[in-house]
Chains A and B, each alone.
Chain A
Amino acid sequence: MERRSLTAAILVHLAALLLLVVILAPVVWLFVMSISSTPDLIAKPLHWWPETVDLSRYGVLLSSAVNSAGQAFVASLFNSLKVAGMATVAALIVAIPSAWAVSRTPAVGWSLYAVIATYMLPPVALAVPLYMALSWIGLLNNVFGLALVYLTILAPFTTWLMKSGFDSIPREIESAATMDGARLDQVLRLITLPLAAPVMATAALFAFLLAWDEFFYALLFTSDQRAKTLTVAIADLAGGRVSDYGLIATAGVLAALPPLVIGLFMQRALISGLTSGGVKG
């Protein structure tokens, strides 16, 4: 390791401090807004810390009273969980066999590139027919319908991640087992899939985060508490017709919590997934 001069060390620490502030300040401010009273938030000069901590908005948004704003918010929270959960499971189910097939059979590799290429499609290019089709089969404003549509985003992505995961598992292990007389499904179940478990977890996390984040399709295809997701609920709050900035911030904090927790605790898995997928394409 090279030895640094004192000046260099100070500069590095200053730069790190700046980076820390840039990263943290907006997130911390979101939280501070959520616990500040309205007079604090519209004071001039602005109060950077509330005079009294006001947690009432968390109560408002998480209340379960019938026909309350809280009930609507909690419903959207559950819708987001349902849609993201179902879409993730469905994406893995279709992605795993095909990713393995492509990884072991280069002859069909081109089809994977075709699948990945669909990532380029802007959602607006599919939205009108999807809207009409969902309407026709009665799945508009429905969590199943929305989860199905989310496969347009999740399926190519998870297949791509899983494929690079399978690539890193040596074929020799599988062929050795096959020689020993194991059937294909046994090989996959007992050898390949356990080895691919970390990649599967990474793919599932990514898929979940992508679905949790999705806004455009949810905006178009849901209309009320039966299917409306968190992102749409928040956009509705932020639309400029609600002037309780603290309430908007509180909704943001609550919606951000699950992905932030996943992000902080599963960081290693997420980054390894990104870089391995990235390097090998």
Chain B
Amino acid sequence: MLKTVQTALLGATLLGAALFSPAHAETKINALFMAQAAYSEADVRAMTDAFTKANPDVSVNLEFVPYEGLHDKTVLAQGSGGGYDVVLFDVIWPAEYATNKVLTDVTDKITGDMKSGVLPGAWTTVEYDGKRYGMPWILDTKYLFYNKEILEKAGIKAPPKTWAELSEQAKIIKDKGLLATPIAWSWSQAEAAICDYTTLVSAYGGSFIKDGKPAFQTGGGLDALNYMVDSYKSGLTNPNSKEFLEEDVRRVFQNGEAAFALNWTYMYNMANDPKDSKVAGKVGVVPAPGVEGKSTVSAVNGSMGLGITSTSKHPDEAWKYITFMTSQATQNQYAKLSLPIWTSSYDDPAVSKGQEELIAAAKIGLAAMYPRPTTPKYQELSTALQQAVQESLLGQEKPEEALKTAAENSGL
């Protein structure tokens, strides 16, 4: 009798252990990324596979949306209980996400090694009001890409150092009949246009906001837009730029139909891949040019970070995942499309091999990154600016007037 009871108890314990054993309990976290070229969907999936292999008790559901949907999806998912745990966010959103409590403050989770190892400039991507809301992940700015073969044919010795020079060189190429419209930009009515505009604003020494009020309607902000309009009207810019996103720019550049293009890091190695590109081996890259007397180079901070949502039920696993994704090992492994956030990576021959030109441009460009305005109302400001840019390009409105209207509609 006693024996049976004992056996029964033992059995029950074993059963209980089997049912409730933590080794079998799997935590599921949901992560939101964007569908883009770098890191590509395939890369993110591969990184995540490596993470789940190392952490078999955590599984990660991945979701990809285009950049245009990233903000709205993040915000809308706040309402659903089992929403995302980890979200990718653009450098322009921490202000809004912090104000509306979309993201968790992770300042305390950041270790000393992270603090000292990550490039100081990269931290601005995740900061608002002295607090940190995630880890920087994609460290990026727009570079000036050029087609070496076309420049050589045009007899141009060196890529432009100033924006005025860029126009002159483009004119030479156009006049020699090498290309009808040598420059490609991403000026679609989207954030992409604001990134190009911001690059120019930084070149002209302008500013977006002064004392909480819009300041882009005059000075550098206006000069930047005037440059875009002149370049468009002079026919040096591919007129289809006004409906291009970055991927369209890459297609055109890779097809040998642009001598110059402003684009993110990822284009360097993709355009140099002979499998998909007609200009492989002819791709040159330099920091975006400056303006005489005002700047030597220009750059926009186009970085993005990974953060934990405030609705996440598994913040610890989420942080583990973020730590893995942003680790130096992971980033070095995928450094061909997106450069690491870690200072020492830039002197690592394994990272720079085969892309020395890009690394050289990055060292200058990343140091010059200019921020888009930090405000909880960024979405409105950006929407208003996009309209101003497009109306000016299309000649519906003079740049001064368009920017003035944008300032009024910016919500600031």
- A binding-site residues for B, Cβ under 8 Å: 38, 42, 44, 67-69, 72, 131-132, 134-135, 138, 140-142, 220, 223-225, 228, 236-237, 239-243
Contacts and interface: CB of A to CB of B under 8 A. Distances in A.
Interface residues of B, number: 39
A243 B251 contact: yes
A239 B81 contact: no
Contact of B79 (A38, A42, A134, A240): A134
Nearest to B68: A239
Nearest to A241: B66
A223 B36 contact: no
Given A223-B63, A236-B65, A236-B66, A140 B80 contact: yes
B84 interface: yes
A42 to B, nearest CB: 6
29 contacts: A42-B251, A67-B45, A69-B45, A135-B79, A135-B80, A141-B83, A223-B32, A223-B76, A224-B84, A225-B61, A225-B63, A236-B64, A236-B69, A239-B65, A239-B67, A239-B68, A239-B69, A240-B66, A240-B190, A240-B245, A240-B248, A241-B36, A241-B246, A241-B247, A242-B35, A242-B66, A243-B37, A243-B248, A243-B251
Nearest to B247: A243
A121 B64 CA distance: 32
A242 B247 contact: yes
Nearest to A139: B80
A38 B32 CA distance: 28
B76 A239 contact: no
Given A67-B49, A141-B83, A239 B63 contact: no
B188 interface: yes
A249 to B, nearest CB: 16
B79 A132 contact: yes
Contacts of A141: 77, 80, 82-83
Interface in B264-294: 276
Interface of B: 30, 32, 34-37, 41-42, 45, 48-49, 61-69, 73, 76-77, 79-84, 188, 190, 245-248, 250-251, 255, 276
Contacts of A131: 76, 79
Contacts of B61: 224-225
Contacts of B30: 224
A67 B48 contact: yes
A223 B84 contact: yes
A45 to B, nearest CB: 13
A223 B83 contact: yes
Contacts of B34: 241
A72 B63 CA distance: 8
Most A Cβ at <10 Å: residue of B80, B84, B250, B276: B80
B394 to A, nearest CB: 19
A140 B188 CA distance: 32
Given A38-B276, A134-B79, A240 B247 contact: yes
A67 B48 CA distance: 9
Contacts of B79: 131-132, 134-135, 140
A239 B80 contact: no
A117 to B, nearest CB: 29
Contacts of A135: 79-81
Nearest to A238: B66
Contact of B76 (A220, A228, A242, A243): A220
B64 A223 contact: no
B41 A223 contact: no
A272 to B, nearest CB: 40
Nearest to A131: B79
Given A42-B251, A243-B251, 19 more contacts: A67-B48, A67-B49, A72-B63, A131-B79, A138-B81, A140-B80, A140-B81, A141-B82, A223-B63, A223-B80, A223-B83, A225-B63, A236-B65, A239-B68, A240-B66, A240-B247, A241-B67, A241-B246, A242-B66
Contacts of B66: 236, 239-242
B38 to A, nearest CB: 11
Contacts of B62: 67, 72
A47 to B, nearest CB: 14
Contacts of B41: 69
Contacts of A138: 80-82
Nearest to B36: A241
Nearest to A224: B63
B295 to A, nearest CB: 30
B77 to A, nearest CB: 5
A168 to B, nearest CB: 44
Contacts of B80: 134-135, 138, 140-142, 223
A242 B34 CA distance: 11
B77 A223 contact: yes
A223 B49 contact: no
B80 to A, nearest CB: 3
Nearest to B77: A223
A10 B73 CA distance: 56
A139 to B, nearest CB: 8
A190 B400 CA distance: 76
